[in-house]
Amino acid sequence: MVAKSFKANFLRILLFSGFILIYMIFFIYFFISPNNRIISPVLIIGFIIIISTIFIFINLKKPNENKTLFSFKFLSENSIKIILMVLMGFSIIISPIPSPHSIILWKKVNIFNYLRAVGMIIGCSYLPGSCIFNILLHNTNLHERFKVEPFIIKIIFYPILSFFFIGISVLVIDQIGLTNRNLFTLILFSLILCIFFADIYIQKIREDKLNIKIEQICLSNYTFLILLISLGIILITIGVHLGIHYIIPGDSWTELTFANYIEKPFTSPIEKGKGSYTYPIFWCYIIYGFSNLSGLPIINTNTFLVPFNYLFILTIYLLMKAILLDHKEKYAVLSTFLMSIFSSLFYITGSSFMGSAPAIIYASVFYFIYKSYSVILFIISTALFIIITKTQNENKVIDKFSLFKINDAKLLFLSSFFLVISFMVYGFPFLIGLLFILLYSISSDKKQHNFQLFSYFYLFCPLDLNSIFSSCLDLHINSI
């Protein structure tokens, strides 16, 4: 019996290794060699991880296919916040690169500048969002609604909220008319410091103490596979950029030119962007904020953000969890695989940079730009709306004046808010999201209840639809 089991496992490993070898030969022969490209080993490892994850998923055995794989103890969230705040404090002491250009050669970035950039980007990407989430959404129990581990919610929502906080802070500071870069950096850092201390203070009021105890983190089989897929996507993205060194040329470069007008006297991106629907300007405020704190030019800073493409996989996972809430976990995982990694990611040709992949794969896997953030916001907004309709008590009376007193109202507002930010960054995902949520509301089983929720969702969305449609129409005409 043991010999038979060993033989079966050996055969699986042999077949898996053969598949990996054949695919890599195909990849190199049909893509790399004809185009004389220098491919990074990191990119190859990313593809291998994704293929391995699919094989593991196929071979998971019932009935313990989603049992806890392992658990471990880790620092509490407050401990991590304190560490990030200290890390940012030390990082900001390091002198930034005094370059007037939007991009510099990587060889001109020394080790200390790299340390400042990494410390600031990690801190800015998670610390403000975690504080905002804890202040406003601490009791919404989103992980219970989506039936996922709590840390999955955190690593999704924290960077999404942090990006908006950085962008809106830079927008406000710029509108004040501040033109001193050092003072600009100091004010931006002070705002992060203020929201950090506000979070600590509110926690003490709520619980009369600050929790810094070690926490237990559990990881199930399926969650581990989703994280593996996310890691594969991160490595593929990094591998692509190791080959081109910066973000892929095109729209991503042109849109960032608006950042050159921030912190300049007698001008602003808002004035320069008037009358032009081709490139929304809010992303340039986000990148400028990260650039200002990291000490790198805007193009280099945007390149540093490419690992955040893991948000594409995890937000799709939450959307599938919401849609398939009453079904087995494996269907949500399988749907995530099909929607993300099988969307022509493995269809490699020589006709373009990474083949004939659709635009969503370019924007969400191969680089991280304004379109990437907008798509992620659209996905998470839709997931939130669906999970509200599926987990809310249908008999609960929703009153206009008491709506904000319930957690569902907070999440409904957040769903609408995310879609508004998506429009501020890039128009098309907003239209798709709004139409998708409307069609879902009128075609679901609880039509009247869900449409009532949609009416409040729309009220939370302070945008003129006529202007939006005409803007997107102009954008389409300009792109032809």
Asked if the structure places residue 61 within a domain, the reply is no
Higher per-residue confidence, 24 vs 440:
440
Residue 470 structure tokens = 């005409």
The model's pLDDT over 35-44, given as tens digits with 9 standing for 90+, comes to 556 677 888 8
Percent of the chain with pLDDT over 70: 73
HEC assignment per residue over 33-79: HHHCCCCCHHHHHHHHHHHHHHHHHHCCCCCCCCCEEEEEEECCHHH
Percent of the chain with pLDDT over 90: 26
Asked if the structure places residue 80 within a domain, the reply is yes
The mean pLDDT value of the chain amounts to 78
Asked if the structure places residue 366 within a domain, the reply is yes
Q: Kindly state the average pLDDT of the residues 366-388.
A: 89
Please tell me the least confidently modeled range out of 3-7, 95-99, 124-128: 3-7
**Tokens 């690992």 identify what position?**
307
Q: Cα 339–341–344 angle (5° rounding)?
A: 90
Residue 402 structure tokens = 């008491």
Asked if the structure places residue 50 within a domain, the reply is no
> CB neighbours (10 Å) of residue 270?
15
pLDDT band at 466 (very low <50, low <70, confident <90, very high): very low
Asked if the structure places residue 415 within a domain, the reply is yes
34-43, 188-197, 460-469, range with greatest mean pLDDT: 188-197
Asked if the structure places residue 33 within a domain, the reply is no
> CB neighbours (10 Å) of residue 368?
26
The count of domains in the chain is 1
Which residue from 115, 117, 121, 129 is spatially nearest to 81, judged by alpha carbons? 129
Which residue from 99, 261, 43, 247 is spatially nearest to 171, judged by alpha carbons? 261
Range(s) of the domain holding residue 340: 68-479
Cα 88 vs. chain centroid, distance in angstroms?
21
What kind and span of H or E run contains 86? helix 77-91
- The answer to whether residues 377 and 429 touch, using CB atoms and an 8 Å cutoff, is yes
Given a cut of 50, is residue 259 above it in pLDDT? yes
Given a cut of 90, is residue 195 above it in pLDDT? yes
The model's pLDDT over 61-115, given as tens digits with 9 standing for 90+, comes to 766 666 777 788 888 888 999 999 999 999 999 988 877 777 888 888 899 999 9
Asked if the structure places residue 10 within a domain, the reply is no
C-alpha to C-alpha distance for 310 and 306, rounded to whole angstroms = 9
Asked if the structure places residue 72 within a domain, the reply is yes
CA-based radius of gyration for the chain:
23
Higher per-residue confidence, 37 vs 285:
285
C-alpha to C-alpha distance for 97 and 109, rounded to whole angstroms = 8
